[in-house]
Amino acid sequence: MTIAVGGFGLCGIPHNLIRALRDTGATGLTIVSNNMGVDGKGLGLLLENRQVAKVLGSYVGENKLFAEQYLSGALEVEFVPQGTLAERLRAGGAGIPAFYTPTGVGTPVAEGKPEAEFDGRRAILERGIVADVALVRADTGDAEGNLRYRLTARNFNPLVAMSGRTTIAEVERPSAEYLDPERVDTPGVFVQRWVAVLDGTKDIEQRTVRPRAAANGEAA
């Protein structure tokens, strides 16, 4: 199965759904995500459990196990420029099978991909991504599956939610009332399942090492 997962590093990741996926024991997975979390956290749990066969992502720098499995040949990796990854997810959700972009022309990213020229500029063809399952995390959700994200935790989540044939959301604050349509980030039409999560713990990748007062003083 191809599974798209929202989040950026550990920010906005559906860590409860990731643990549930790990516990299924499913193997041979293709994971679409900006990156694979960090060692021992987030999508790193699936790598530890040897459940992932292929990754479509933009960044590997925070996960040593990811790099080790890739370099050893145990894990297939398709590197995708970050903006291209975002657009491939959006295109898949919008029913657009493919699009041309100049990003990656003349680099290994372009190998084997059709190329065309537009107004004198070379571009390569990138396919939209449609995932079998999409996993996202939202701050607020209502009974119709409308979702709202909090600040930067929004990141890839709306695009991932669009891309899934079946999208499952974990929601921190279920709303008894329907969300204001003007403040909906992901319309419920893209969400097939959601579950309320009680675990509000949010891991942090990099903590500051200066006292808060010193940091504020420098900023001033």
Residue-wise pLDDT for 13-51, tens only, equals 999 999 999 999 999 999 999 988 887 888 989 999 999
**183-189 mean pLDDT:** 96
pLDDT of residue 59: 83
Indicate whether 204 pLDDT > 80: no
35 phi and psi angles, rounded to 5 deg: -155, 180
**94-114 mean pLDDT:** 95
Q: Return the closest-CA partner of residue 21 out of 57, 39, 59, 48.
A: 48
141 or 71, which is more confident: 141
80 or 202, which is more confident: 80
CB 151: neighbour CB atoms within 10 A? 9
pTM listed for this prediction: 0.88
Q: Return the closest-CA partner of residue 169 out of 203, 146, 152.
A: 146
